[in-house]
Structure 1
C-alpha cells in the first residue's frame, strides 16, 4: 500500500529533479534516491551513484525543464527537456519513477534528440510551444 499520494509523488519528482539536475546539490539529492535505487536506463550506470556520477560528468550548463507530469499510485511519469548537456541537441525525456517510502526506488526512461522545426514531420515542437533556436 502506498504511503504517499500521487500529488505528493509528483511534487517529489519535481523537487528532486531540480535539486539534482539544476542545483547540483548532491548531498540534498541523496534524500530523494534510495540507497537501493534500481536504474533501468541504458544511458545511466547502475544505482544512485551511477546517476550522480553521470550528472557530475556533464557540463555546468545542464538544465532540466519539466513539462507534463502524471502520477498513479507509486508511479510518476514526467515529460521533460535536458539541455546544456554538451551534445548538439537537447534530449526530450519521458522519465518513469517508482516511489517507495517517499524516495525513488526505480527509474526507466525514453530519450530522444529534440527535433528542429525543419526536422519535425508533424510541424509541432516535441516539448513546450516553441522549437529550439
Structure 2
C-alpha cells in the first residue's frame, strides 16, 4: 500500500468514527460502513445495523476520542477512548478495521476500563498524556 493509501484509510476511519459516535449522524454513517459489514465484537449484534442500534441505545453524551492510528494494507488500527456511554469509567479501545471498496467491511476490538491514577500500577495513563478527571 502506498503512503497515500494508508493516509486515506486512516482518514476514512477517523471520519467514520466521528460521524457515528460523536455526531450520531446515522444516515451519513451508512456511507462509511459496508452493507455487508462483519462485526466480531462479542458485545455488538451482527452487521452494520447491530452497531448502529447499539449507538442509538447509548446516552446522548457518548464521545469518541482517537489516539494513535496505524494502517497496513487494508487494515487500520486506532487506539481511542469511549466516554459518556453510561458506565462508571471510560473504555480504552483498540479497534481493528478492514477496509474494502472504500468502506469499513470488518471490525474487531479490544476494550478495557480506563484506569485512574490510583489504579495504575505503572503510574502512567492508558490514553493520552494525563489521567481522566
- TM-score, structure 1 normalization: 0.97
Kindly report which structure 2 residues correspond to 1:76-91, keeping only aligned pairs within 5 A, or say none.
76-91=76-91
CA distance in 1 between counterparts of 2:66 and 2:42 reads 21
Deviation at 1:102? 0.1
CA distance in 1 between counterparts of 2:132 and 2:7 reads 30
Q: Unaligned regions of 5+ residues in structure 2, if any?
A: none
Determine the structure 1 residue equivalent to 2:29: 29
Kindly report which structure 2 residues correspond to 1:40-51, keeping only aligned pairs within 5 A, or say none.
40-51=40-51
- 2:94 is equivalent to residue 104 of structure 1: no
Determine the structure 1 residue equivalent to 2:58: 58
**SS, match of residue 124 in structure 1:** coil
Deviation at 1:6? 1.1
Structure 1 segments, 4+ long, off by >4 Å, are none
Query: What is the aligned length?
Result: 132
Deviation at 1:43? 1.4
CA distance in 2 between counterparts of 1:61 and 1:27 reads 19
CA distance in 1 between counterparts of 2:45 and 2:58 reads 14
- 2:13 is equivalent to residue 8 of structure 1: no
CA distance in 2 between counterparts of 1:42 and 1:123 reads 30
**SS, match of residue 119 in structure 2:** coil
RMSD of Structure 2 on Structure 1 (CA): 1.3
Determine the structure 1 residue equivalent to 2:132: 132
**SS, match of residue 5 in structure 1:** helix
Q: Unaligned regions of 5+ residues in structure 1, if any?
A: none
User: What are the Cα deviations for residues 33-87 of structure 1, in whole angstroms up to 9, with x where unaligned?
Assistant: 0000000001111000000000000000000000000001100000000000000
- TM-score, structure 2 normalization: 0.97
